[in-house]
Chain A
Amino acid sequence: MAKMVLWSAMKGRVLLNGQPAAGAVLVRNYSWHWKNEKGADQTVANAAGEFSFPAIEGRSLLGFLPHEPVIEQVMTIEYQGKSYDAWAYFKRDYNHNDENKGQPINVTCRLDVPRALHGGISGLCEFN
């Protein structure tokens, strides 16, 4: 069964006004069209505001059938009682790092700046 990467491994830092957002909770939600499957995982930023996520991989017995891959990704960051829309993206293939044109994902998420388009990512996280 081929591995289908629904959300690539990623690491990065969360900053608020240039300071590490220690204890910020990052929640990744995805919706995989092929299986009509929704899922989520979460992690907490350390004292330096650093975080990492493993890749989320999907499995499908019928995944060998040709289809157009669509995975909707949304990541929110909870910090000091506020929720930030940090990441929105339509992943359109099952490869590692599709989100960053094949390059490993290392981002800085600034909670104090307006949401913007970074590559194909809508939100607060910018590729380093």
Chain B
Amino acid sequence: MGALTARTHLLEADYLSIYEARSRCEFKAALVRSARKLEFSIVSTTVFFDHLHGPHESIGVSNTPTDYREAFESTSNGRIDPVMQHCKTSGLPIVWDRSTYVHAGRVAKWEHQAQFGYHCGIALASHLPRGRHLLIGVNRDQPLPRNSTGITRMTASLQLFIAHAEEAAARVLLPKRPDESNAVALTPRELECLRWTMEGKTAWELGQILSIAENTVVRHPYSATRKFDAVNKHQAVLKALRLGIIE
């Protein structure tokens, strides 16, 4: 971390301020400032969080005009928008303009959004472990540069930007999970029993290993189970694993 901070300081301040953002407000300010520097007036970032059962959650920050939001931020928008469709499956950036929508047969959608300043833009997504996806889009009403050097530089800056935003977005945008925010205090014995349970040992085997009575063994995982608000000892092991209490 020491080396990282020292080295990152060499980069421009905007990247550092998104990386270190402590609140939604700071995050948004850094986002808008960086987009303006790239000469895009509208910017949005969304974190998607997949659930294996049930619909995904999404939460975002943007300086999108309110009337645009009312017109487009419905669930059907994502399905008909070719830029969203691209980002859903690909980790590669997409540089888009009217022709993107023409090719997809969605020119009406483009004409509608263009009224709000969404003529062209660059969008990209990071698909991360544990079902997280981060999407960034910058948009404007001015045409994109015609030369590929200009476009490559813009896209590259945005890609570097999203790398800096990954952690911060999860930190400031996603609500803290209740079971993770309050620490669970386990006794050393409870921990030991959970570790052996993780290895697949039964209560009887644990009793042999730890030279304690079987009913004591049953009691330890049981109290750990209660502390974790888990339904059984196996779920207690999983919760302890996820919280990094055991490895």
Instruction: Say if A and B assemble together.
Output: no
